[in-house]
Amino acid sequence: MTLFDDIYPFYPLQRSSFLFSGRLITTILVFLLLAASLLIILPGIRGKSRLFWMIRIVTSLFIGAVLVALNFTDDWAEARMTTNTTYKSFSDAVVNADIGLHIGLYGINVTLKGNPIVQFNETIDYNEMFSWHDTIEEEYEEALEKGLPNPILYIAEKFTISNPCGLIFQYRYSGRYASATLWTAFCCWILANILFSMPVILYAGYMMMATAAFIFFAMASFSTIMNAPQCVFSIGSDSFEAQYSHSFWLALATGLLCTIIGVLVTMLHFLIPEKMKEAFSVGVDSYEDEDVSYGEGYLNAVFLDGVTISPLSSKVREEHI
């Protein structure tokens, strides 16, 4: 045991801060690769269709990437504050720090950053992730063993089963239902893209509206936590409550975008159906009904020995050939 400016490092274990979700990085890379692969074919498309296809590809992949990424982001709701607080257990040392709580569909992310970062000969810059696959009891016990700062332990303890606030039940179940509906919206998005490449543009518009509907269902599921009694986090002399954050508003914007696309496609299908088919390259080729002349045809005499040939019109000769 050693003592550094009244800070007791009771636990020798090194902390491993949560930096960025690996699944979120994978999602972004996969959709960027898909976008690059599809945009490569644009030079082979002539005329004004090139711009239309570029917008179509970028918009569609943006919606798909958002639907998947929203499952792994940790900022559906968040709260921030700057306050003076005790730093570690068994110590009267007080630090000034920025404290952040970021809530996702599968867990919480707690940040602690000193003002300034170095205080009491120690770098105060923590970023810890607690997930609730079942409960966060085990991860909370690991945080105790690591000797994490008091503000992080206080916030994490609020999400344990034994805490009277019951936040774990509110956020875990609302997050699960929201995630399930987002994956359903992703399936609707896939079906919409398939239908856009077939001569059923109307149903593609319907599936885009279904995608928007499931996004709104996910938001409604997550919003149920705001109807429950809010638990106030009190640290030092200040307190804060979680509010909607970036991912929630991104889901709203994506849902509105899907709604606009679905409504426009449906309306234009009834107003200008032929032009819609032509725009999405699903119309019937116009040359099939045209009377195309292929010139004169010739019969092979080797196969026609002893056969009486009556004079034929040029069109009949072409059909026989």
The DSSP code sequence of 137-194 is: HHHHHHHHHHT--HHHHHHHHTTSTTSTT-HHHHHHHHHHHHHHHHHHHHHHHHHHHH
Q: What is the pTM (predicted TM-score) of this model?
A: 0.76
Neighbour tally for 112: CB within 10 Å: 22
Phi and psi at residue 24, to the nearest 5°? -70, -40
Structure tokens at 95: 């630090």
Which of 5-9, 152-156, 178-182 comes out lowest in average pLDDT?
Answer: 5-9
How many whole angstroms separate alpha carbon 211 and alpha carbon 158? 35
How many whole angstroms separate alpha carbon 281 and alpha carbon 170? 48
How many whole angstroms separate alpha carbon 136 and alpha carbon 104? 14
Residue 309 vs residues 45, 247, 294, 305, 316: alpha-carbon distances, Å: 49, 78, 21, 10, 13
pLDDT digits (tens, 9 = 90+) for 30-40: 888 888 877 78
Q: Which residues is 94 bridged to in the sheet? A: 86
> Sign of the CA dihedral 45, 49, 51, 53?
negative
Residue 228's identity, in one-letter code, is A
User: Taking Cα atoms as reference points, which of 8, 13, 231, 2 lies closest to residue 141?
Assistant: 13
Structure tokens at 128: 């810890």
- pLDDT: is 16 or 256 the higher one? 256
- Give the chain's end-to-end CA distance (angstroms, integer): 99
Please state the rounded mean pLDDT for residues 146-154.
87
> Sign of the CA dihedral 133, 135, 136, 139?
negative
Ordered by start, the domain boundaries in the chain are: 77-167
Q: Which residues is 107 bridged to in the sheet? A: 131
User: Taking Cα atoms as reference points, which of 262, 257, 242, 272 lies closest to residue 102?
Assistant: 242
User: Taking Cα atoms as reference points, which of 35, 28, 33 lies closest to residue 53?
Assistant: 35
Residue 20 has pLDDT above 80, yes or no: no
Assign 103 to helix, strand or coil. Answer: strand
- Split at pLDDT 50, 70, 90, the class of 47 is low
- pLDDT: is 19 or 143 the higher one? 143
Residue 181 has pLDDT above 90, yes or no: yes
Residue 67 has pLDDT above 70, yes or no: yes
pLDDT at 210: 95
pLDDT at 302: 56
